[in-house]
């Protein structure tokens, strides 16, 4: 269990650019098209989550 | 990595963004502002039309009002919105142009500066981007071509305009996880009841704001002035309603001489513009409130009855 969590943490850090070396058994070469999808998803997530400065989030209406 | 691979990756990233925008557009098809505008379109021509924010949305019970003042009341008040959004809703109600209009407000909303930015035009207020954006831009960015350009560009990207459609799902999940093993928090149709205490103005700052508005003879907020003016031109009555507030709110904010001067100032502005002022701030006891600004069902019935009677007697 702890190893799995460490692996997930390592993967997140790798995908986020905090680590240069990918975790074991995860291999996505620089030329992989999946990176394109990953960038698109990241860009959307950044846009969707930025600019949240309200004192509280009015969502239940 | 070859240049071709990089180009393909960029193409895929762009395709992913297009797909996400399409998904957000689908998610936002039934957003609350769109539902409200559809309701306005599908309703029979109204005799009494109610505009404002969630205080009016919660307070006006159409059925109860119609019992006291027979006709076709229509409540198009929308939560978490400001005067510009109210004006945008009003502009689309050509079908209900001859209806008497009741505009609900609280605190210093009638004269407050218009504030529409990237951070604040989210959720229901995002309607500024897709319901008559020209008018919204004119109100929010009249003096800033750069801001106007930003609004125009943003209006074309659904994932930016409707980003709260995604964020709200995350927030709901976060709240659900946060409540695991904890007592359930009190929730009403507008959200978590105790969240609304965060909207309470600081009493000293509020008094200063009121004092400044009077000293500077601040005019009515332009979109509110537009609602009043067009209603009057249409030959209908416009009633500006100071919405009911709990005793603590009135004690903290509405008992100062600054507020009394401010209220006299806005009453004069409304009368000069051809409208009526209705002081309903103390109509409802605290038991009629669901939280510190919204009425519960019993409070709404009481308010609607009293407003209906007032309107019948002041035709």
**What per-residue confidence (pLDDT) applies to B169?**
81
Give the per-residue SS3 of B211-280.
HHHHHCCCCCCHHHHHHHHHHHHCCCCEEEEECCCCHHHHHHHCCCHHHHHHHHHHHHHHHHHCCEEEEC
Q: What is the DSSP string of B25-92?
A: HHHGGG-HHHHHHHHHHHSPPPSEEEESSHHHHHH--HHHHHHHS-S-EEE---TT--HHHHHHHHHT
**What per-residue confidence (pLDDT) applies to B272?**
97
Residue A61 has pLDDT above 50, yes or no: no
Confidence of residue A56 (pLDDT cuts 50, 70, 90): low
- Across the interface, of A40, A49, A60, the residue whose CB is closest to B167 is A49
- Across the interface, of B1, B79, B122, the residue whose CB is closest to A31 is B1
Question: Higher pLDDT residue, A27 or B270?
Answer: B270
Per-residue pLDDT tens digits for A27-51: 888 888 888 988 888 888 887 777 5
**What per-residue confidence (pLDDT) applies to B98?**
94
- Residue B270 sits at the vertex; the CA angle it makes with B269 and B276, to the nearest 5 degrees, is 155
Architecture of domain B31-117+190-313: 3-Layer(aba) Sandwich (3.40)
Contact A59 B172 (CB under 8 A): yes
Residues B118-131: what's their mean pLDDT?
92
Q: pTM score, two decimals?
A: 0.90
Question: Higher pLDDT residue, B188 or A33?
Answer: A33
Question: Higher pLDDT residue, B234 or A43?
Answer: B234
Contact B191 A52 (CB under 8 A): no
What ipTM is given for this predicted complex? Answer: 0.73
- Across the interface, of B17, B163, B171, the residue whose CB is closest to A59 is B171
Domain boundaries, chain B: 31-117+190-313
How many other C-beta atoms are found inside a 10 Å radius of the C-beta of residue B74?
23
Contact B187 A44 (CB under 8 A): no
pLDDT > 70: percent of chain B: 100
- Residue B294 sits at the vertex; the CA angle it makes with B274 and B164, to the nearest 5 degrees, is 95
Distance in angstroms (rounded) separating the CA atoms of residues A39 and A37: 6
Residues A16-30: what's their mean pLDDT?
86
A-B contacts (CB, under 8 Å): 104
- Which range (A37-46, B48-57, B79-88, B136-145) has the least confidence? A37-46
What is the overall mean pLDDT for chain B? 93
Per-residue pLDDT tens digits for B164-173: 888 888 878 8
Residues B262-273: what's their mean pLDDT?
98
Residues B212-241: what's their mean pLDDT?
97
Residue A53 has pLDDT above 60, yes or no: no
């Amino acid at each position: 269990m702890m190893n799995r969590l460490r692996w997930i943490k390592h993967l997140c850090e790798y995908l986020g650019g905090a680590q240069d070396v990918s975790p074991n058994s995860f291999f996505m070469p620089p030329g992989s098209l999946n990176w394109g999808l990953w960038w698109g998803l990241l860009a959307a997530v950044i846009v969707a989550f930025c600019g949240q400065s309200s004192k509280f989030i009015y969502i239940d209406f | 990595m070859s240049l071709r691979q990089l180009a393909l990756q960029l193409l895929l990233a762009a395709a992913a963004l297009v797909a996400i925008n399409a998904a957000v557009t689908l998610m936002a098809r039934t957003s609350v502002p769109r539902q409200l505008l559809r309701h306005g379109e599908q309703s029979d021509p109204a005799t009494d039309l109610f505009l404002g924010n969630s205080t009016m949305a919660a307070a006006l019970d159409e059925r109860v009002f119609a019992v006291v003042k027979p006709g076709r009341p229509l409540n198009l008040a929308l939560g978490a919105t400001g005067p510009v959004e109210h004006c945008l809703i009003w502009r689309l109600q050509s079908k209900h142009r001859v209806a008497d209009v009741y505009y609900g407000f609280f605190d210093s909303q009638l004269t407050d500066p218009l504030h529409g930015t990237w951070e604040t035009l989210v959720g229901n207020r995002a309607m500024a981007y897709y319901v008559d954006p020209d008018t919204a831009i004119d109100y929010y960015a009249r003096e800033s071509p750069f801001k106007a350009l930003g609004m125009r560009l943003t209006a074309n990207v659904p994932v930016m305009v409707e980003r709260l459609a995604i964020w709200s799902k995350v927030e709901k999940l976060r709240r659900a996880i946060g409540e695991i093993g904890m007592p359930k928090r009190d929730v009403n149709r507008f959200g978590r009841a105790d969240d609304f205490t965060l909207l309470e103005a600081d009493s000293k700052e509020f008094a200063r704001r009121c004092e400044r508005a009077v000293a500077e003879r601040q005019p009515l907020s332009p979109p509110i002035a537009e609602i009043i003016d067009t209603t009057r031109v249409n030959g209908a009555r416009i009633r500006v309603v100071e919405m009911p507030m709990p005793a603590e709110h009135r004690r903290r904010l509405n008992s100062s001489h600054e507020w009394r001067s401010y209220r006299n100032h806005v009453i004069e502005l409304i009368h000069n513009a051809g409208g009526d002022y209705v002081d309903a701030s103390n109509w409802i006891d605290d038991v009629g409130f669901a939280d510190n600004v919204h009425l519960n069902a019993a409070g709404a019935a009481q308010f609607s009855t009293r407003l209906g009677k007032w309107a019948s007697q002041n035709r």
